[in-house]
Structure 1
């Protein structure tokens, strides 16, 4: 295992441990995210509303308009109890508090009247007493609220038994309760707390505590008491864990068993709010009595009396995103118990989710560091899909609430961190490789090696290239005079300065051959205008060499100048990796490469530093080119037409070059055999060329020498059979010379 891999594993596992501990601490952020996920599940598949024997007697806006504002006199509530009892309600539960005397009671209304006879006061009706008498002997359950003041705790109307260890410390704590009117407390069949989500900071009611505890006694909630009273049961049976105290696993109420998490809560599996659950209180209290349909709905039902009036502020939010009367949630609790459709957040869920974070994170770290980030990503996506699918199926078919979010998010963070670390290491190694190989390969070749599949296989492809050869003039002579270390220093200075222009103009630096450079364009990547870029690189080399000579960069003194020759040819060559499987070079071979090499060697004969072939010249319209003749190249059967590169398009469009080009064309078109006339034209050309650079002087000197050599060889061979007295030729011979070209000793014979 490499050190970078070890570091990656250590950092990755440390991150996994941190994420695992973060989940184990279960901060509010994760709790809210988990609850939101479970809410979404309920919205996708809510519990269907079933017409069960559970009804809400709603003190709605219509009831308040008919019977007056709230609170109503308790004698009216007594009438409501009498009516519901007569209709056969199995339990009547009030989701409201009766902690204060009824201020609308006649006895209380006149109590403070000055001079009132106490005997008369005692004879006046008391609404609290009327209400107490109405609930006496009837299945009425009253509610009490949780308070932080006082020490009142209501009596428990039912026995509480348990199996296993005592679970009294499992439910949420209650310090005190809102006191009930003594006469009501004594005559109620059941008492239950009406707190829906005590201690919760969320506005959404998701779970209702079935019991509250003060440490020694348990207090059931309103819905549980209503269900107990409706069945006539006298005892709750709580099941706890055999060897673990403070855990409630289920609650048995008569014939019904409610599975619970450790704290004894009922996770609400709500159904959409519907009018079928409600009966308006005005229909129960109507003068003509309730309709047969309402009587049938009440008969045998557990009824909860509460209010939906907005002004009374008993509106709660559900997991479905609905705002409903709080009393309806008590009714839904009983509906859920009767239907047997429960949601359960098992006690092992937290441990399972924490373990899954650790296991999945460790797996992703190993896959990312040792195998491949892509495979790790595929594995992570598969695990994510499986986790979400398993969580949804567990909810839909078994009512289990398992959080897929924490493992998925933790796995995503782990994969991103491990992948980022691996790419940082890979990038560092790649930069090191680039730095090492950048001394030998062009950036374009490095790009090809990095991004092309099988880029390092042996073999090649035929493609059009522009090939350049650069050679130092008189290098052998310089080497004789210099020490070997000085020769190396000279070459490093020169070749480093010249080769930069190859890569700057998108060329591929093939190799250094002693004092020579071989480069080509249009491979390994396609290069637009590759011929022009090769010539521009050559012109930049000319300028760089002139600057180095002017600065005496080689230390040879101001009198000794270094010269180079550059040959460029465009043609088809085979380019690719060549050599052995264990050691090879990216290079080009073929006739185009040979021609470029021979053109470079011909620079000495022509007396010019940059020569290009006719094929290259055709791709350079507007450049400053002068025809140099058709020359025989070593190893070639025919002759190759060459051009001297004076400059780029700016040079080609200048007045100085236009003047020179006109004279040069005259020299080509009317190359007289009279030596005086010929030399006069060459002298004029040299004069015009002076404004364009010193290179052209040697160029025209070479033309003169080559022409003299041709005329002498022609006379010796008897090619000119007839000469005039002034040394000229007859018209027939002059025509033959013109057809041979501007430099007839460099073209094929007729």
Structure 2
């Protein structure tokens, strides 16, 4: 690991730690984003509406037009109770506050008239008493609201039992309540609070508190009381988390067990608002017998009485984004309990999400630092997709709420921060390598040297190289016939086509010297089987040049055939960055380089285009090689055995070459003994005619044989 990578890892892990601590603190913005995600899940797959025995008697606009404006006199409310009881309701719950005396009561109206005989008041009906009498012995639940004034607490109509420690401190706190009319409070079968989201900063109702607490007593909400009264239950059984104080887990109401949050809240899993849920109050109060449809809807149902009239301002927003009457959410609470379709966010969900942020962040830091950004991005996208899928499936099949957004956002921040650091700092050295070597190395070699920056230090190393020189034959003659710009165009076309094969075979382009190319293999990094790859590049150059001539790529019109000579030698050379600190070139020097250059020059004497040294030939088993003789190279005191490269292993394994090689060996032995056999020579020439490039080679051998014949 380089120092830049170490710094990148440290900075990346610091970012992960900061994001993890941010999630652990759970600021409001993160909570809002999490809730919006859960809202979107419900919008994609809302709870299906089922025809449950739960109905809303709606004091709607039509009822107000027909029966008069709100508030209605309470004798009409009493009539509503009587009608509903006659239809066979299971329970009646009023999402209406009856806190003040009925101003429309005859007794109260007369009391306000000056000079009325006080004895008359006692003989006039009181609507509050009428309403109070109508609910005696009937399953009627009244609602109470919360107040910031006074210290009134409503009576509790049910008992509480706890499994484990007391849970009085778990629910939201109640300071005071709005007092109900005493006779109504006393006669009601149940009392429940009607607050849907007390103290919540968002207008969206996502969870409803099933209980409130003053520290000494628990107070159920309206929906829970309606369900209790409908079953005839007398006690709530509340379960707390083992070994965790003031943490609620379940509430049992009669036959139903409801999973709740630690504070005793129920996550609402809402269904779209449907007309089937509502019965207009005017239909219930219509003169005569109720219609069969109205009676069928009410019979056996838990009925919530409330209003959808816009002027009464009891409109709430659901997770589906719908604006619905508040009474609808009370009804949906009971529907959800009856259906058994619950949502829950486990106590360990926060810990799991924090762990995912830390683990995914660390993984992305390592991936971004040590593999390519594309691979890191692919892994990040895969992790993101898996997180989304896991969260969605947990919601869809288990009703579990896990936040995928915080880990995804944290992972994205970590990935892009680590990528930016890598681009600006860690990859700076690699970009310098690419600028220096991008035109001279194959992608595989370039990748390897990128990960070894020490290879760019000034100085050299002695190592075995295979060195190649390529030179254009008769270049002087060609250049004399062309304009300077045409010469440049010719060289660019030729050298570009030939040098590509050096790169393709993992070689290093050292330099272009006029019409020549110098290249070498096995530096700056190790290249396995480098002599064979150098020869493979030379053979590819031969094929490319044949095609270029055939296609008249140089524009000579067939008047000039371009040919090259290639010399290859394997040996020890000094290779490295040579020059000054501010400006240097990566190159190789030494006797091996000189020998390769001399071998290339010998191609003119041997009349063959590709020659290799004996050292290179030993590393080419199976290749089609023919001995070209022992030549005196310039600057060398001893002769060097050279070999002509006829073809690769495929040519070397052919029957034609096997016969030619056998004849060639006999011919070489005869020449060494200065007794050339003309018959063998002619046979070899015939075989050579079937292989490209050997005609001139054997013409030279023939001249040499003639020389020996003439001079003994």
Shift of 1:577: 3.0
Q: Contact (CA 8 Å) 1:207, 1:267: kept in 2 or not?
A: yes
* Cα distance, 1:580–1:343 mapped onto 2, change above 3 Å: closer
Q: In structure 1, the residue corresponding to 2:305 is in which secondary structure?
A: strand
State the match for 1:146 in structure 2: 146
Q: Which residue of 2 aligns with 1:54?
A: 54
Q: 2:279 matched to which residue of 1?
A: 279
Report the RMSD for the aligned CA atoms in angstroms: 3.9
Residue in structure 1 matched with residue 10 of structure 2 by the alignment = 10
Name the counterpart of 1:320: 320
Determine if the alignment matches structure 1 residue 577 to structure 2 residue 519.
yes
8 Å CA contact retained: 2:8, 2:426 = no
Runs of 4+ in 1 over 6 A off after TM superposition: 455-468, 523-526
Counterpart residue number, 2:173? 173
Q: Distance in 2 between matches of 1:422 and 1:406?
A: 24
Unaligned runs of 5+ residues in structure 2 are: 449-465, 477-487, 498-512, 528-533, 540-553, 560-602, 606-712
Separation of aligned partners in 1, 2:419 and 2:356: 20
- The normalised TM-score by structure 2 is 0.65
Which residue in 1 is equivalent to 2:415? Answer: 415
**1:42 CA displacement:** 1.0
Structure 2 counterpart SS, 1:383? helix
Question: What residue in structure 1 maps to residue 507 of structure 2?
Answer: none
Aligned to 2:338: 338
The structural deviation recorded for 1:579 is: 5.6
By how many angstroms is 1:289 displaced? 2.5
1:34 aligns with 2:34: yes
Correspondence 1:655-694 to 2 at 5 A: none
Whole-angstrom CA distance in 1 between matches of 2:288 and 2:196: 36
In 1, are the aligned partners of 2:467 and 2:521 still within 8 Å (CA)?
A: no
Q: Cα deviations across residues 259-300 of structure 1 (Å, max 9, x unaligned)?
A: 112111111111111111111100110012311222122111
- Report the TM-score, using the length of structure 1 for normalisation: 0.62
Q: CA deviation at 1:47?
A: 0.9
Say whether the 8 Å CA contact 1:250–1:258 is kept in structure 2: yes
CA distance 1:580–1:312, shift in 2 (3 Å): closer
Give per-residue Cα distances to partners, 1:130-189, cap 9 Å, x unaligned. Answer: 111111111110001111111111111100111112111111111111111111111111
In 2: Cα distance, 1:464 partner to 1:188 partner: 111
Aligned to 2:631: none
CA distance 1:453–1:235, shift in 2 (3 Å): same
- Please tell me whether the aligned partners of residues 56 and 306 of structure 2 are also in contact (alpha carbons under 8 angstroms): yes
Corresponding residue number in structure 1 for 2:406: 406
Q: What's 1:118 paired with?
A: 118
When Rg is computed on C-alpha atoms for both structures, the one with the higher figure is 1
Change (3 A) 1:278 1:581: same
On the 8 A contact 1:465/1:521 being kept in 2, the answer is no
Could you say what secondary structure the match of 1:160 adopts?
strand
Distance across 2 between alignment mates of 1:14 and 1:191: 54
In the alignment, the residues of structure 2 paired with residue 174 and residue 346 of structure 1 have an alpha-carbon distance, to the nearest angstrom, of: 25
CA–CA distance in structure 2, aligned partners of residues 434 and 86 of structure 1: 90
Kept after mapping to 2: 8 A contact 1:256/1:337? yes
Equivalent in the alignment of 2:220: 220
Note the C-alpha offset of 1:520: 6.6
Q: Match for residue 355 of structure 1?
A: 355
1:199: which partner in 2? 199
- Residues 412 and 21 (structure 1), Cα distance of their counterparts in 2 relative to 1, 3 Å cut: same
Q: Contact 2:434–2:446 at 8 Å: present in 1 too?
A: no
Q: In structure 1, list runs of 5 or more residues that go unmatched.
A: 438-445, 469-506, 509-518, 527-567, 591-612, 619-634, 638-750
Question: Counterpart in 2 of 1:694?
Answer: none
User: Secondary structure, in 3 states, of the residue corresponding to 1:93?
Assistant: strand
CA apart distance, 1:58: 0.5
CA positional deviation for 1:122: 2.2
Distance 1:228 1:466 in 2: 108
How far does residue 345 in structure 1 lie from its aligned partner after superposition? 0.8
Structure 1 partner of 2:229 = 229
**Separation (CA, whole Å) in 2 of partners of 1:42 and 1:466:** 81
8 Å Cα contact 2:394-2:401 kept in structure 1:
yes
Q: Give yes or no for contact 1:465–1:520 (8 Å, CA) kept in 2.
A: no
Change (3 A) 1:449 1:252: farther
In structure 2, what is the Cα distance between the partners aligned to 1:396 and 1:184? 44
Q: Which residue of 2 aligns with 1:429?
A: 429
d(CA) in 1 for partners of 2:473, 2:330:
86
Assess if the C-alpha contact under 8 Å between 1:308 and 1:315 holds in 2.
yes
State the distance in 2 between where 1:466 and 1:386 align. Answer: 66
Query: How far apart in 1 are the matches of 2:114 and 2:355?
Result: 75
Q: Cα distance, 1:372 vs. partner?
A: 3.5
**1:599-678 matched pairs, under 5 angstroms:** none
